[in-house]
Structure 1
Amino acid sequence: MPPLAPGLFQSAYSARNHALWVTASAGRPPVITDSRLLRVDPKTLLIEAAYPLPVTDTATGAVRAVFGVAVDDEQDTVWTTNTLDDSVSVYRQQTGEHLATLPGVEHSREIVVDAERGTAWASAFGSGTLVAFDARTFEEKQRVTVEGAGPTGLDVNERTGKLYAADFKGSRIIEVTPGSATARLLPAGDGPLSVAVSADGHTAFTADQTGGTLTVVDLRTGEITKSVPTGEGAKSAAVDRRTGQVLVVNRLAGTVTAVDPHEGTVVRTVPTGALPNHVEIADGTAYVVDKSGAGPAGEDLITLIDLDD
């Protein structure tokens, strides 16, 4: 596990370019002076390119710090959330060229791309809003606000285009249909930070930070079917589309737990670096970024987990 950079937050895999895009923002908000968008070799975990972010305040040296990240292989772009200045940005994958910064996403936290419908969705935690942008023109195309909500993690049903957001404040899932001005609200576990949808689109899974659980929700009936303890500080969830298992990052426990959602049982638990933050699954491998500071200069690491092992 070669050290990458301090302040790792999330990663997203590009099949088109065989690259792992990683966001890194080090320092103490509201002033971040060290933030980079990293292109990483998914096999060696060596940095192929590091793109610095523009300075937004010359007096403090603050930069447009990146946190959430998503890849659009159809448009060959990578999207980021810039949480501290309430915006999202778009970059060209091939060169790292900055293409656009889109304001009006209050406390932007995460972003997901629906490549089939040419849409990028962002969660605005600060206003309880979900915002959709045209992935080609970057124009805003939909905005749905749920009063009192705090949307965080996102996933899209690839068949229907429906968006699912974990509502940390409301301990529920927000479902938004493309083109609709209203949302359907579903139950979740205690303090969900992340949501993932099954390959058939019938089930949603939330990683519940407060509860330390994975919650399984039947999207057809709107009912919770299982709650599986995974570890303290459950923060990020992802579905292994080949097996149907769900991986959950347990931030405070320093582990990743694989769950069989049909049986409601833990398959295995794998230790990671301290304070794991996010999991991305691609080609039978799970990439887990942490905030361990375990590198020689305080850099954070990525743990690779072979899902066939």
Structure 2
Amino acid sequence: MKKSIAVLGFSMVCLGAFAQQKEEVAPKMFKVDAVQKINASIYQLVHNPVTKSVYVAGPKGGFRAETDQFVYVLDEATLAVKDSINIGKYTPFGMAINTRTQTLYVGHSIQQNISAVDLKTRKSTLIPSGREKSKIREIVVDEDRNLVYVSDHGDPSIWVVDGKTNKYLKTIAIPGAFPLGLNVDSRKGRIYVTDSGTMQGNVLVYDSKTNELVGKWKTWSYCPLNIALDLKKNRLFVSQSNDNNITVLDAGSGEIIDKVYLGYDASPIGLVYDEKSGLLFTANREKKEVAVIDTETYKVKERVPTEGLANTIVLDKNTGTVYVTNKSARKADDAIKKGDTVQKIVRI
């Protein structure tokens, strides 16, 4: 009888401890504050602190559609669509912005060119590379040098565009590679590009002044995608969609610092680092969420449900607000509640 009472008492203590443990779960830090449905198959987006707007690429009719195409302009606070920019019959996918010159760069994927849009006049300048096999993915801007870089996995290379004249300058050829993600550190004079063509999952590093290859860093995850930079602590964060992790690299040596695993079938695509908070945000497509990662502990602090296929993500550096695009399913029978939406995520 005493033994039964002791076991019962021990069980009650364990249950009490378990209940207490559950109560100590950290409260939610973030919430979805606004949602905007777009009548298009949305892709990348950028935030413009000058106009207090979010610009969203909204292609219609597929890759080769012969119809007018638009970039949608959303209010940063409410996400209400307040305008649109007609860019002709060139399908918009990748995007970047030079906030100093107020120039929006729009990639046209398999149409072998990009557009430079003057946001003050709405004048659009088409910038072809003259390379017939081009398939454009990522665009980044070096605002200090007023240069634009474009990753091209169809004709493996990085384009270099003069931001002053908006003319194609040269190509950094990457034979045999499959360049996808791209970023630039203007202070160190480095261009980083992911090569998804090998099982080693390389990040290629180029000198932005000489355009010479100065590093080839293995992430040991197949098909690395996007790159976010931590300029203060000299780190690279690389999304690994196939391996469901974020690989953290030392931006000086290329050594792997850590890998943050996001769970089975997470499929992280876009990511953005907030230097002020030390938090990394990742758009996890298959899990339909944005994960919030503490970059001191390399642990996931929170998962914010998006109810759509989270794809690309940007940050308002002044407020810490995050904006994410959610794609729809490719098959009509795979219902996605909030596909083709832009969401605003804020601190609670």
TM-score when normalising by structure 1: 0.90
Q: Which amino acid aligns with 2:259?
A: S
In 2, the alpha carbon distance for the partners of 1:71 and 1:42 equals 15
Matches within 5 A, 1:105-254: 106-170=134-198, 171-183=201-213, 184-188=215-219, 189-200=221-232, 202-231=234-263, 232-254=266-288
Structure 2: 5+ residue stretches without partners:
1-34, 330-334
Deviation (angstroms), 1:112: 0.8
After superposition, the CA RMSD in angstroms is: 2.1
* Alpha carbons 1:123, 1:154 under 8 Å: kept: yes
Write 1 or 2 for the structure with the bigger share of helix. Answer: 2
* Alpha carbons 1:285, 1:305 under 8 Å: kept: yes
Write 1 or 2 for the structure with the bigger share of strand. Answer: 1
Q: Deviations over 1:253-296 (max 9, x none)?
A: 10111112332211111111321110001131110001137899
In 2, the alpha carbon distance for the partners of 1:215 and 1:104 equals 35
Give the equivalent residue in structure 1 for 2:28: none
SS at match of 1:84: helix
In 1, the alpha carbon distance for the partners of 2:39 and 2:139 equals 22
Deviation (angstroms), 1:127: 1.9
SS at match of 1:304: strand
In 2, the alpha carbon distance for the partners of 1:162 and 1:32 equals 38
1:292 to 2:328 alignment: yes
In 2, the alpha carbon distance for the partners of 1:222 and 1:139 equals 33
* Alpha carbons 2:113, 2:126 under 8 Å: kept: no
In 2, the alpha carbon distance for the partners of 1:271 and 1:179 equals 42
Quick one: which of 102, 112, 115 aligns to 1:76? 102
Structure 1: 5+ residue stretches without partners:
55-62
Which of these two proteins has the greater Rg computed from alpha carbons? 2
SS at match of 2:144: helix
In 2, the alpha carbon distance for the partners of 1:227 and 1:295 equals 30
Quick one: which of 32, 38, 44 aligns to 2:78? 44
Give the equivalent residue in structure 2 for 1:281: 315
Give the equivalent residue in structure 2 for 1:264: 298
Q: Assess, with a 3 A threshold, how the Cα gap between structure 1 residues 265 and 299 changes in structure 2: closer, same or farther.
A: closer
In 2, the alpha carbon distance for the partners of 1:30 and 1:233 equals 27
In 2, the alpha carbon distance for the partners of 1:146 and 1:84 equals 18
Alignment: residue pair count: 299
In 2, the alpha carbon distance for the partners of 1:5 and 1:34 equals 14
Give the equivalent residue in structure 1 for 2:90: 64
* Alpha carbons 1:14, 1:20 under 8 Å: kept: yes
- Per mean C-alpha deviation after superposition, the further-off stretch among 285-294 and 204-213 is 285-294
Deviation (angstroms), 1:32: 6.1
* Alpha carbons 2:97, 2:105 under 8 Å: kept: yes
Q: Which amino acid aligns with 1:176?
A: Y
In 2, the alpha carbon distance for the partners of 1:29 and 1:168 equals 22
In 2, the alpha carbon distance for the partners of 1:248 and 1:2 equals 20
Q: Which amino acid aligns with 2:321?
A: T
Q: Deviations over 1:26-78 (max 9, x none)?
A: 33334464631111111111112112332xxxxxxxx2101011111222210
Give the equivalent residue in structure 2 for 1:59: none
* Alpha carbons 1:187, 1:217 under 8 Å: kept: no
* Alpha carbons 1:153, 1:194 under 8 Å: kept: yes
Give the equivalent residue in structure 2 for 1:99: 125
Q: Assess, with a 3 A threshold, how the Cα gap between structure 1 residues 295 and 213 changes in structure 2: closer, same or farther.
A: closer
- Per mean C-alpha deviation after superposition, the further-off stretch among 94-103 and 72-81 is 94-103
Give the equivalent residue in structure 1 for 2:345: 305
